[in-house]
A and B are shown apart, each in its own frame.
Chain A
Amino acid sequence: MATTRPFALLSEFDKPADVMDAAEKVRDAGFTKWDVHTPYPIHGMDSAMGLGNSKVGWFTFIGGHSHRRQTDV
C-alpha cells in the first residue's frame, strides 16, 4: 500500500544562518510538531522557532519555595 503522505521531513544545513532562515519559514507556515537539532545553542533560534520563554524558571521558583520548615523537633 503506497502512501503519498510523508511521515516526516528531515533537512540538513551547513550554516547556522541557513537553519535559522529555514526555521523562520517553518514557523511562519504554522507548523507545530517540529524541531531543530544543533551541536550548540544558536542565539535567536527560540524566537525563530516561535518558542516562548522556558518554564525552567518557574520550576526553580516553586522548588525553591517548597521546603518544609521543621519547627517541632
Chain B
Amino acid sequence: MSEAAPNIKLEAPPIELERDRFVANNLGMGEISDQICDVIERPTPLWWKICMVPALLLLSMLGCMIIYLLTTGVGVWGNQHPVMWGWAIINFVWWIGIGHAGTLISAILFLLRQKWRTSINRAAEAMTIFAVMCAGIYPLIHVGRIWYGWWLFPIPNANGIWPQFRSPLMWDVFAVSTYFTVSVLFWYMGLIPDLAVMRDRCKKFFGKFAYGLFALGWSGSNRHWRNYEKAYLILAGLSTPLVLSVHSIVSLDFAVSNLPGWHTTIFPPYFVAGAVFSGFGMVLTLLIPLRTVCKLEEIITIRHIELCCKVTLTTGSIVGYAYFMEVFIAWYSGSSYESYAFWNRAFGPYWWGYWAMISCNVVIPQLFWFKFFRTNLKWVFVLSILVNVGMWFERFVIVVTTLAREFIPANWGYFKPSPIDILTYLGTFGLFFTMFLLFLRFLPMIAISEVKGVVPQADPHHPLGGAKPGGHH
C-alpha cells in the first residue's frame, strides 16, 4: 500500500493563468505607505479644491433648506394627500442602501477571506458612514418639530410616554443607530494602525499630536496585533447580521403596512440585495476617478474594479429576479388590488419611473457579463452611476405608485415634488461629498496595514517573504 502511494507533484500553474496580484508591480512596503499617504502629505491638490467648492455650496444649501423647513413646516415639501410619504423617505432609503456596501466589504468579505477587499474597504466604510449621515437627516427633520426629535428614542420619562414599539419606523431608529455606531467603531478600529503610520510620518506638531492621540499608542507590537485581529474578527461577526438587518427593517416600513405593492414577504431580501447593489455602484463611482487623481492604480487595480462589477452584476440580477417575482405573485395571488398595483406601476401615470428602474437596474448591469465592460473604466463609471439612478427610481416607484393608487379611487392622486424637495436632496450630496473629501485629505483612504498584509512579500511562507525552499517557513 505504502509503496503504491503516488508521488504527487503539484506544478505551478502556467504564468498566463496566474491571477493578477492585489498590488501591481510588487510594490515594496515603504512604497505602499508612500503611495497611500501621498494624497494627505502633498500640498492640497487642485482637483480637491475644485471638488470642494460645489460640495460646500451644496452643503450650505442643505443648511438653508433645513432651516426653511423647520421654520415653515413640512408643507414646504411636495407631500400631499394621498402621497404623504414623498422624497424624504425615498432619499432616506436610497442613502441607507448606498451605505450597505461598506459593511458588506468590511464584514462579510472579511469573514469570507476575500483578500481583495483590503484595497477598497477603508473608502467604502467611510462612504457608508457618510451615506448613513445623509440618510439620518431625513427622519430627524421630517418630524417638523425637530425639538421633539428625542421622542424617537425610548427615553424613560416621568409621564411614562413611550414611542410606538409596534411601528417599523421605531425599529428603523434602532436599526439605523446601531448600524451607524457599529460602522463607526469598525472604521475607527481599522484606522488605528494606519493612524500610527500617519503619526510616525507626520512632520507638523499638531498633525503628529492629533494622529498620535487617535492612534492610541499603537506600536505594531505583535502582542497588540493579536488582540487587534481578534477584536476585528468579533466586530466583523457582529456587523455581518447588521448588513442584512438594516435594510430588512427599512423594507418592513413598507411590508408591515397593508397596502397593495408593499405588503409582500419578498421585501426584506429584495431590499438587501438592492442595497448592496447600489452600495457597490457608489463604490465604483467614487473609486474610479479617485484611483486616477490620487495615482493609486497600482493598489486599486483593474482586478478590484472587475470584482466590484461582478458583485454589482450578481446583486443586480437578484433585484431583477425580485421584480419579476413581484409581478408574478401579483398575478398568481389573484388579488385584484395587487395585480392592479403592478399594472399601474408599469403602465400607469408613473410608467417612466418603472421603466427607468427596470432599464437601469436589470437590463443595463447585464453588460457586466462581458469582460470588455468590466475592465473599461469609462463604461464602468457610467454604468455605476446608472445603477444609483435606477435604485433611486426603485424607491420612487415603490413609495409613490402605491400611495397614489390605493384601494379607494376617490383617494387617488398624483405626486409632484416641490423645489424644496429637490434642493434638499441635492444638498445631501453636498454633505456627503464634503465629508468624503475631508476624509480623503486627512485620513488614509486605503487600509495601509491591511494591503501590506495581503501582498506576497508579507507572507512568511512565500519566497518573496523570505521563505527558504525546503525550510518550514
The answer to whether B460 touches A16 (Cβ under 8 A) is: yes
Of the residues B156, B220, B231, contact of A37 by C-beta under 8 Å: B220
Query: Closest CB of chain B to A73's CB: distance in Å?
Result: 4
Contact code string A21-52 (vs B, CB < 8 Å = 1, else 0): 10000000000000111111111111001010
Query: Closest CB of chain B to A37's CB: distance in Å?
Result: 4
Q: How far is the CA of A44 from the CA of B453 in the complex (A)?
A: 12
Asked whether any CB of chain B lies closer than 8 Å to the CB of A60, the reply is yes
Q: How far is the CA of A72 from the CA of B168 in the complex (A)?
A: 25
The answer to whether B468 touches A17 (Cβ under 8 A) is: yes
* Given A17-B466, A20-B473, A54-B230, A39:B222 Cβ within 8 A: no
* Given A17-B468, A17-B473, A40:B226 Cβ within 8 A: no
Query: Closest CB of chain A to B220's CB: distance in Å?
Result: 4
Of the residues A21, A43, A57, contact of B234 by C-beta under 8 Å: A57
Asked whether any CB of chain A lies closer than 8 Å to the CB of B38, the reply is no
* Given A16-B465, A18-B466, A51-B223, A43:B459 Cβ within 8 A: yes
The answer to whether A46 touches B466 (Cβ under 8 A) is: no
Query: Closest CB of chain A to B426's CB: distance in Å?
Result: 41
Contacts of B461 in A (CB 8 A): 17, 44
Asked whether any CB of chain A lies closer than 8 Å to the CB of B72, the reply is no
Asked whether any CB of chain A lies closer than 8 Å to the CB of B219, the reply is yes
Of the residues A17, A35, A39, A57, contact of B449 by C-beta under 8 Å: A39
**Most A CB within 10 A of own CB, among B160, B220, B457, B471:** B220
Complex: chain B residue closest to A19, CB-CB: B460
Q: How far is the CA of A17 from the CA of B257 in the complex (A)?
A: 60
Contact code string B437-473 (vs A, CB < 8 Å = 1, else 0): 0000000000011101100011111000111100101
Q: How far is the CA of A46 from the CA of B448 in the complex (A)?
A: 21
Query: Closest CB of chain B to A25's CB: distance in Å?
Result: 12
Contacts of B222 in A (CB 8 A): 35-38, 41-42, 45-46, 49, 51
Query: Closest CB of chain A to B133's CB: distance in Å?
Result: 27
Complex: chain A residue closest to B29, CB-CB: A39
**Most B CB within 10 A of own CB, among A16, A19, A49:** A16
The answer to whether A56 touches B230 (Cβ under 8 A) is: yes
Asked whether any CB of chain A lies closer than 8 Å to the CB of B225, the reply is yes
* Given A35-B221, A39-B452, A20:B234 Cβ within 8 A: no
Looking at chain B's contact residues, is the secondary structure mostly helix, strand, loop, or mixed? helix
Asked whether any CB of chain B lies closer than 8 Å to the CB of A12, the reply is no
Query: Closest CB of chain A to B178's CB: distance in Å?
Result: 13
Contacts of A44 in B (CB 8 A): 460-461
Complex: chain A residue closest to B33, CB-CB: A39
* Given A21-B473, A39-B449, A41-B453, A46:B468 Cβ within 8 A: no
Query: Closest CB of chain A to B469's CB: distance in Å?
Result: 11
Of the residues B226, B452, B458, B467, contact of A46 by C-beta under 8 Å: B226
Query: Closest CB of chain A to B236's CB: distance in Å?
Result: 12
The answer to whether A40 touches B452 (Cβ under 8 A) is: yes
Contacts of A19 in B (CB 8 A): 460
Contacts of B473 in A (CB 8 A): 17, 20-21
Asked whether any CB of chain B lies closer than 8 Å to the CB of A11, the reply is no
Asked whether any CB of chain A lies closer than 8 Å to the CB of B41, the reply is no
Contacts of A45 in B (CB 8 A): 222, 225
Q: How far is the CA of A30 from the CA of B461 in the complex (A)?
A: 25
Contacts of B460 in A (CB 8 A): 15-17, 19-20, 42-44
Query: Closest CB of chain B to A8's CB: distance in Å?
Result: 14
CB pairs A–B below 8 angstroms (17 shown): A15-B457, A15-B465, A17-B460, A17-B461, A17-B465, A17-B466, A36-B222, A37-B221, A39-B33, A41-B228, A42-B225, A45-B222, A51-B226, A54-B227, A56-B234, A60-B234, A73-B156
Which residues of chain B have a CB within 8 Å of any CB of chain A?
29, 33, 156, 160, 193, 197, 219-223, 225-231, 234, 448-450, 452-453, 457-461, 465-468, 471, 473
Which residues of chain A have a CB within 8 Å of any CB of chain B?
14-21, 35-46, 49, 51, 53-57, 60, 70, 73
